[in-house]
Amino acid sequence: MKKLVLLLLLFAVNVNGKCLICESNNVESKYAHIADFVQFRIYGTDSSIVEIKTSLIHCKDCGFAFYKKRFNEDEERKLYDDYRGESYQKLRQKYETWYTKEFNYSLGNSEYEISLRTKHLLNIVRKRNLDIKSLLDFGGDKGQFIPDEFNCKKYVYEISGIKPKEGIISLQKMDGMVFDFIMCAHVLEHVSDPKAVVLTCKAHLVGGGIYI
């Protein structure tokens, strides 16, 4: 699991060796190679011809690990546009043979995973007796991880362009909007600036709102 998380932490503008989270300089840097698939998808170059190098930085203070090379907004879009769509899957399987059509489909669509995650979230909300009127799942795919039991306005903020589930409104912009409850799962490891995403979510919460 730890390995997978590290492999996903592929992003950034120049960070000058400072920790992206706690800004500590107490970091250790190691040579790293960008995944061949990611390199081709973003830069259109094959790593067997041109290798784009980076470093894996590990913060000794907070434990966060990330790649020094961070993607800009345009590069992030190139990677996540039609995320897990047909062309994404085909290209990825070309570089990573295990990434089959079936495997691709299973991600985010497994009944078991959905029920586990929604149950967990329901428990948290019920324990705290929260009255949620508007909920946002930031980077929430089709909105399948929002429990059906929540009787509130439901939104996802999603850049992939995927069609949301019935009853869910997909947003590409959140200008002027606020929510009582914002959830954000399996997202921070995919973005260039995780701290900025947390601060953005905070800015879109009503006073006393919950971010999880």
User: The tokens of 71 are what?
Assistant: 């993607």
Site stretch for Zn ion (CB under 5 A), options 19-27, 150-158, 168-176, 186-194: 19-27
Q: Which is nearer to Zn ion, 19 or 34 (CB)?
A: 19
- Smaller CB separation from Zn ion, 146 or 197: 197
Closest separation in Å from C-beta 18 to Zn ion: 9
Residue 9 or 146: the one with the smaller Cβ distance to Zn ion is 9
Region at 134 (left for phi over 0; alpha for psi -120 to 50; beta for the rest):
beta
CB of 25 to Zn ion, least distance (A): 10
CB of 75 to Zn ion, least distance (A): 24
Interface with Zn ion in residues 40-79 (CB under 5 A): 59, 61-62, 64
- Binders of Zn ion: how many residues, by CB under 5 A? 8
Strand partners, 135: 154, 181
Q: Does residue 24 touch Zn ion according to CB under 5 A?
A: yes
Structure-block tokens of residue 28: 């250790």
* Alpha helix segments (H runs only) across the chain: 2-8, 36-43, 73-80, 86-95, 101-106, 111-127, 194-203
Kindly report the number of other CB atoms within 10 A of residue 26's CB atom: 12
Distance CA 160, CA 87 (A): 13
Q: Which is nearer to Zn ion, 143 or 194 (CB)?
A: 194
Q: Which of 6, 8, 18, 22 binds Zn ion (CB under 5 A)?
A: 22
Min dist CB 1 to Zn ion, Å, is 20
Of 125, 108, 128, 129, the residue nearest 182 (C-alpha): 125
Gap between the Cα atoms of 165 and 163, Å rounded: 7
Q: Which is nearer to Zn ion, 136 or 188 (CB)?
A: 188
Residues lying near Zn ion in the complex (CB under 5 A) are found at 19, 21-22, 24, 59, 61-62, 64
